[in-house]
Each structure stands twice: as C-alpha cells, then as structure tokens.
C-alpha cells in the first residue's frame, strides 16, 4: 500500500493544479461578468480569483487524501493499473496503422454512399428543367 501512495499523491497534485487553474479562470470570468473587482493579492500576478481557486483546490486535495474511501479507491486504481498488460512500441505502431487504414477505407465507402445518395435525392426532388 505504501508504494502506491506516491502515485496517489502525484495524481492529487496534478489534479489540484488543473482544478486550481480551472477555478481561477471561472472566478475571474464571474468577476468580469458581474463587474466585481478582482484585486491583486500578491503582486500583479496573483489576483484574488487565483488565490480562491488555489485555496479550494488545496482544500479539495487534502480532503480527498484524508478521506478513507477516496484514498482507498485511488490506491486500488493504482494497484489495478500495475496489473494491466501494456502494449509494446511495435504493437502500438501496428494498431495505429490498422486504425488509420480502416478510417480511410470507411471514409471512402461513406463518401461514395453520400455521392450516390446526393445524386439520387437530387434526381427525385429537383424539378426537370
């Protein structure tokens, strides 16, 4: 269990940064939308909206880390991800080529169907000239 904790902490840190940036932008947009001042707290680079986003992100991360159910779930996810058989580079390249070729073939087939359907509906719906 101790080995998985570092991955859980890393995930929570990355998720916290994403939540912080998202919340700070949401708060900034709300402040602009309602014409509420957004004063700079620590210099010009850290407005109040960013500080509020940071506080909420840190609080959410600490709560998630200390919550036994959430922490146990994240540890279980890390444990299960260690059991996954990840493909090697050659398998990934082959699968990528198969997906690209299949997409091109299906696109051509759908293009032909669209062309035929367009001509058919044009013949039916357009009046003769």
Q: What DSSP line would sit under 73-128, residue for residue? A: HHHHHHHHHHH-----HHHHHHHHHHHHHHHHHHHHHHHHHHHHHHHHHHHHHSPP
What angle separates helix 68-83 from helix 2-33, to the nearest 10 degrees?
A: 120
Predicted local confidence at residue 56, as pLDDT: 95
Q: How confident is the model at residue 44 (pLDDT cuts 50, 70, 90)?
A: confident
Q: What does the DSSP 8-state code read for residue 45? A: S
Predicted local confidence at residue 45, as pLDDT: 79
CB neighbours of 47 closer than 8 A, spacing ≥ 6? 24, 28, 38, 39, 40, 41
- pLDDT tens for each residue of 27-37: 999 999 998 88
Predicted local confidence at residue 1, as pLDDT: 52
Extents of the domains making up the chain: 2-83, 86-129
Q: In whole angstroms, give the CA distance from residue 17 to residue 54.
A: 8
Q: Does the pLDDT at position 2 exceed 80?
A: no
Which residue, chain included where needed, has tokens 């000239």?
129
- pLDDT tens for each residue of 58-67: 999 999 999 9
59 SS3 class: helix
Q: What number is the average pLDDT over the span 50-64?
A: 93
pTM over 0.75: no
């Amino acid at each position: 269990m101790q080995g998985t904790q570092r991955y859980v902490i890393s995930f929570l840190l990355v998720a916290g940064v994403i939540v912080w940036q998202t919340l700070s932008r949401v708060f900034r947009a709300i402040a602009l939308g309602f014409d509420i001042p957004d004063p700079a707290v620590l210099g010009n680079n850290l407005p109040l909206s960013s500080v509020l986003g940071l506080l909420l992100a840190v609080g959410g991360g600490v709560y998630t880390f200390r919550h036994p159910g959430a922490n146990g779930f994240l540890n279980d996810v890390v444990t299960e991800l260690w059991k996954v058989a990840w493909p090697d580079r050659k398998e990934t390249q082959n699968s990528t080529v198969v997906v690209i070729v299949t997409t091109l073939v299906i696109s051509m087939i759908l293009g032909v169907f669209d062309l035929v359907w367009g001509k058919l509906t044009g013949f039916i719906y357009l009046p003769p000239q």
